[in-house]
């Protein structure tokens, strides 16, 4: 019987996206079959620099509690507090001079995924389509609406 190869955990220093790290960490922990206790231990061991300093705010008896550790890291490094910022940025987004429709569409999709991360993909796609049609273009043009309706 062959054992599965163990996938090494990553490190998190607070300089990269917490959401991306958390996704990777969840995949590694699932692949390795870790219990919540092992996940908590591995998560603590993966922290470096300012991210490791978050542990100082957690009571000693909770340093092996996965939920407590994740909540502390989410509170410090998560994107949820930026949701309103992204929604405002999306609402005020205009096509810039020299910006192609493809570039505009890509940025609208990026902002939608950040502003409405909690929504299912089909809802985000629908929102992106509506925002893309509604974004004022430079110069003003009906081409964008016609292209979108034909596509």
pLDDT in tens, 90-106: 999 988 899 998 999 89
**Whole-prediction pTM value?**
0.57
Residue 12 bridge partners (DSSP): 47
Neighbours of 40 (CB within 10 A): 20
Q: Tell me how far apart the alpha carbons of residues 45 and 68 are, in angstroms, rounded to a whole number.
A: 15
Q: Per the structure block, which two tokens stand in for 144?
A: 């964008």
Q: What is the C-alpha radius of gyration for the chain, rounded to an integer number of angstroms?
A: 21
Q: Answer whether the bond into residue 139 is a cis peptide, omega within 30°.
A: yes
Q: Tell me how far apart the alpha carbons of residues 22 and 74 are, in angstroms, rounded to a whole number.
A: 9
Q: What is the pLDDT of residues 62-93, one digit of tens each?
A: 999 999 999 999 989 887 778 888 899 999 99
Q: Would you kindly state where each structural domain of the chain is located, as residue ranges?
A: 18-77, 79-140
């Amino acid at each position: 019987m062959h054992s599965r190869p163990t996938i090494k955990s990553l490190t998190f220093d607070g300089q990269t996206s917490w959401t991306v790290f958390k996704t990777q960490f969840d995949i590694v922990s699932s692949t390795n079959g870790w219990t919540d206790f092992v996940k908590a231990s591995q998560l603590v061991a993966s922290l470096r620099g300012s991210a490791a300093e978050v542990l100082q705010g957690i009571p000693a008896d909770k340093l092996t509690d996965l939920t407590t550790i994740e909540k502390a890291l989410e509170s410090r490094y998560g994107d949820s507090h930026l949701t309103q910022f992204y929604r405002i940025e999306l609402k005020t987004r205009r096509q810039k001079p020299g910006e192609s429709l493809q570039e505009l569409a890509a940025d609208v999709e990026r902002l939608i995924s950040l502003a409405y991360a909690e929504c299912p993909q089909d809802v985000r796609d629908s929102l992106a389509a509506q925002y893309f049609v509604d974004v004022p273009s430079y110069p003003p043009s009906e081409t964008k609406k016609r292209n979108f309706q034909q596509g």
